[in-house]
A and B are shown apart, each in its own frame.
Chain A
């Protein structure tokens, strides 16, 4: 920003609430604001830096002339509207009160990484013109049954507050929130211009809620239900979309486990000329898919539904599925295949050469079926699959997909003692063939340090490295050594690494490497690893950008937890379950850090273990502990 500071007028005497002592000097530093810290900067206090502004005309008096102020603020508004990134906006808001005010009144997209970090009221008090809203709720480990249901993350208080404050709201994007049908009804009623609803990993609602949104949000462009639990209320929600031409651009319902009125869907697609993304659920058969494709050749992203048929094919010729796919020249993103009949897979050949994203992760495809397909996918950048494609399949990917940026390999048999069809061989091959790789999630049963080291050297663009060796405490299966050197190489060589998930047999040494070299790591996921407190201390005393720390079943105790007190205000959250923490220590931390909410979840009441903390979940909050905590949550 090249604003001439000498022309800024002195701030007016607008009284703010008492500055919050967050000891968040780090936030005030420009360097950390420009990091990818994804918190809403909620510091109401004005940091010392702000007092550089001196009015050239006044003698330092606080009463500024209204006219220059307005001009200034208009100019600022016009300039700030070009700032989209929330990091830039956060930085701009810290310059001085005037900038804070203008920024607050012009920010239209708000991101809240933890729904309990602040109250809805605080949001609406600061930001007045929000039209787009991203909110995240439960911590990620809740996905793996590590948290009892009904923990919280309710959307209700947010939607009711925003209904009054932001009637012009257009976009809501929720992740891991509990959303009820009533919430959806309120949303549909309160925001006449509503355009985009995205629900990722959410639950609490059903097809009746979706029906209300479909029916009342006449300007709806995006309805994306992704990996959410949607109860089947036996409502024909597809028929609830209005009769006239819709604005729909994206409709994703692959996670809805309920049959669909196909005729209504066909009609909907026919009257949605702007529809580009369509992700069907497994209740749509191949024959039905074929009909949809013929009617919507403009699609760019397609979730194919079941990719099988249940009825006996007619005695006349089967539909020409390949021809339908050939007509879809614009499809670049393909997913679905929920109940794949492999003999029909060749139908997708015509679109393979154009694909940039392919998701086979619900399809049990063997290497023989897979190789002919992938050999055509030269442009592929994102690829998700099950390990059923084996190392052989991964080698085929490595040979063809030179543009690959993101790879995710999920286990077909997600048990600890299953046979693992992929191993270090596949990882090595990918590292050699896909040099532009940026993000990898890899489940396997066998791994070696050598392969991980190779990946660290071959793929310098890696920002996300998540390796899950499914058998706990597994060492390098060739050398028998811990996996320390492999993960060490990753943090050392992958200079852009921001997210890391570790597994296998790991000693404190691995954590020493992480602390020393993980300069940009923001998210760290640890399970069944480390020998002692030192491991966690290395990470808490190193890793300057750490924001999200999730640990389970590792031998870290009170001393380690205390060693991080200097930084918990600068983190989004810390999760530690089945570690070695005592309630007393957690209480101490809670007392010492008033703006940290320290939740202890699920500890038993039996005397034997009263002091033992089963699960600790702690996070900063501007508005104190939440009022909706269930009985099994103790807020210390």
Chain B
């Protein structure tokens, strides 16, 4: 109990203190209380640990339990969007023709195409055949395609991996018959 009281006295002194920093910026604080509680799903804490970069000049504050007071339901709904928009992980939707549900995967988890293919095959229980540079995929009805930044639908594997990861907006596993006309890169 003393801890909280002391801290608050300190803050009030700070309010009158002359300093060069902007009002409102403070040193890193961690509330002692939060350490006592086991938090099964404090998304904010996990996020702080996993992110390498920080936008602010000072190190990010340790997050206090339940502060700011936003319900976890809302936090979780928005969290996914944030991950997507900040490029923290690169989540893209994956759909497969004939499958009722979409999945989402994080492309940054993979280092090259075979890893990605394996994961997709496991996810949707299909197999993708072999990739040939000129003819595309052979040996299977299913063909992995993706939509790039320009809105064009391309065959997965045509461009170097890094270029693919940075330009892929969405994945679609098409059934063979629809694949006609997909340019092989050019």
Contact = CB atoms under 8 A, between A and B. Distances in A.
23 contacts: A227-B73, A259-B100, A283-B101, A310-B102, A362-B78, A412-B78, A412-B81, A414-B75, A414-B78, A416-B61, A417-B61, A419-B55, A445-B24, A446-B24, A470-B67, A472-B29, A531-B9, A531-B12, A554-B4, A578-B4, A578-B31, A579-B1, A579-B4
A551 to B, nearest CB: 12
Given A145-B42, A468-B69, A580-B1, A555 B8 contact: yes
B97 to A, nearest CB: 9
B70 A414 contact: yes
Contacts of A477: 22-24
Given A259-B101, A364-B85, A386-B78, A580 B33 contact: no
B15 A480 contact: yes
A475 B24 contact: yes
A146 B15 contact: no
B84 to A, nearest CB: 9
Interface string A336-353: 001100000000000000
B66 A144 contact: yes
B179 to A, nearest CB: 12
Given A555-B5, A602-B37, 17 more contacts: A143-B69, A145-B66, A146-B66, A310-B93, A362-B74, A412-B78, A412-B81, A414-B44, A415-B60, A416-B64, A445-B24, A468-B68, A470-B68, A472-B29, A482-B15, A553-B33, A580-B4
B156 to A, nearest CB: 15
Contacts of A145: 39, 42, 65-66, 72
Interface in A448-495: 468, 470-478, 480-482
Interface of B: 1-2, 4-5, 8-9, 11-12, 15, 22-24, 26, 29, 31, 33, 36-37, 39, 42, 44, 47-48, 55-56, 58, 60-61, 63-75, 77-78, 81-82, 85, 93, 95, 100-102, 147, 153, 170, 172
Nearest to A419: B55
A579 B26 CA distance: 22
A476 B95 CA distance: 49
A473 B31 CA distance: 13
Nearest to A148: B37
A153 B26 CA distance: 39
A259 B103 CA distance: 11
A311 interface: yes
B68 A411 contact: yes
Nearest to B100: A259
| Nearest 10 CB-CB pairings of A with B | A144-B66, A580-B1, A414-B70, A555-B5, A470-B68, A480-B23, A474-B24, A145-B66, A310-B102, A473-B11
A443 interface: yes
A410 interface: yes
Contacts of B68: 411, 414-416, 443, 468, 470
A386 B32 CA distance: 31
A553 B77 contact: no
A180 B183 CA distance: 54
Nearest to A501: B69
Given A259-B101, A415-B63, A507 B12 contact: yes
A555 B95 CA distance: 54
A87 interface: no
A87 B164 CA distance: 65
Nearest to A142: B66
